[in-house]
Amino acid sequence: MTFNSIDFAVFMPVVFFIYWALSKNLKMQNIFLLVASYFFYVWWDWRYLSLILLCTAVNYIAGLLLMKTEVQKWRKTILVICCFICFGVLGVFKYYNFFVHTFVDAFSLFGVKLQAHTLNLILPVGISFYTFHTLSYTIDVYRRHFSSTKDIISFALFVSIFPLAMAGPIERATNLLPQIYVKRKFDYSQTVDGMRQILWGLFKKIVIADSCAEIVNYVFANYNILPGSSLLIGALFFTFQIYGDFSGYSDMAIGIGKLLGFKFLRNFNYPYFSRDIAEFWRRWHMSLTTWFRDYLYIPLGGSRASKRKIVRNTFIIYLVSGFWHGANWTFIVWGLYHALLFVPLIVTGRNRKYTNAVAEGKLFPGIKETGQIFLTFFLVMIGWIFFRANTISEATEYLNGMLQFDTLKAFYRIASYPVFWICCAMLIIEWFGRQEQCALFKFGKEWNKGVRWSFYYILIGIIFYFAQIGGIQTFIYFQF
């Protein structure tokens, strides 16, 4: 069951009405939402539920044990055991075969042939997200930033709440658990905002991402026989695809949370309007970026260390981030690539230069800012080629072929695709709404009510049209 499926179109209204019908009884409301979340997850494969239950039990018990002991030695032991179990499960399902193949390949370089024994395992949907989700709770309890909970229903709901179950955002206990504890009141304005955000997320997923996917899949499958202009088109449309796909999911998840009375963490802040790579990473997959910052980068010394150590820490963060995305050397190279782009900013002390919205208070950016945005977009697009390719050699061959293109022919061909102009329209709408959490919170807000609603109905019509001609595509980040 996905947010863009007919199944979910039936599931969500049923959950919504029963959920708010139980609003006078918080415990029953939480129990119902927990059951609905488990049902949502079981819809994929009932076997996946056992891992969520294991992750829930381990971290719940670890939190209780951490609160019962003041001896630092035992507290650290509890945390290590909890991390070992959670990362161990993640490692077996996601990385075991990768390590086996890498080990065998390393020995083959010296002429030693080993027999590889791999596991025929299916990667459970969302395992990387809920693993980090729950570990943030245990680590915060260990650090005494948060008191552990004895309410198993509330904690289980925190771990498995269905809008976040598949692809985040990666929530924190400090933000979500207090919202689960208190009685939630139906808020009409929040519900309307949630519907707007869901609508915009569906548009980005179905109209932008899924339309780009057809072109991208063809180009990357035939990159070795296509001209450079086609490869440039493939890279450009994948850049739009992955943004529309992942930020679209995040918009829908956050919007659904608002329908249920929750305020989830923001995950995207218009990253393609960034003026350098540092700003891009403050705006892209923000819940993961801040997770690594708080639980890895700062413990390593953060930005208070010498520049040499800051550079070291940066490389560690981006390599781990790349590896988090998948068990393939392409993701590691993708992480290394972004680390290399980040280093000059650290050395020159410009990694925190842009923390405000681009062209804040202005209608259009200046010439310098426009150039910075296009350059950052291009550098990010190059990195996405490694992210999308199956192997490093495929990515390098793709890049080599892409750089051999006729500029005028390439721009003419790009402009001939209707989806390109739809992507441009999306960027225009997001530009005008770039200081809001969702572009539709600002765009058209000052319009006459009839005009504004006509615009929403046009969006709905476009979504239905593209859903019929393109079919339903799986969200990219479900594989992570």
> Cβ(462)–Cβ(203) under 8 Å?
yes
User: What CA–CA distance (Å, rounded) separates 298 from 146?
Assistant: 18
User: What CA–CA distance (Å, rounded) separates 356 from 350?
Assistant: 14
Question: Could you say which DSSP state residue 416 is in?
Answer: T
User: What CA–CA distance (Å, rounded) separates 461 from 33?
Assistant: 31
> Cβ(260)–Cβ(184) under 8 Å?
yes
User: What CA–CA distance (Å, rounded) separates 445 from 363?
Assistant: 16
Is residue 117 flagged as an active site residue? no
> Cβ(168)–Cβ(125) under 8 Å?
no
Question: Cis bond leading into 365, ω under 30°?
Answer: no
Nearest to 218 by CA among 208, 228, 231: 231
User: What CA–CA distance (Å, rounded) separates 89 from 78?
Assistant: 17
Please list, residue by residue across 39-67, b when 16 or more beta carbons sit within 10 angstroms of its beta carbon and e when fewer do. Answer: ebbebbeeebbebbeebbebbbebbbbbe
> Cβ(175)–Cβ(214) under 8 Å?
no
Q: Residue 452: exposed, middle, or buried by beta-carbon count in 10 A (0-12, 13-18, 19+)?
A: middle
Q: Rounded to the nearest 5°, which phi and psi values hold at 427? A: -65, -35
Q: Which of 133, 285, 325, 338 is catalytic?
A: 325
Handedness of CA 109, 110, 114, 118 (dihedral sign): negative
Supply the residues annotated as catalytic.
325
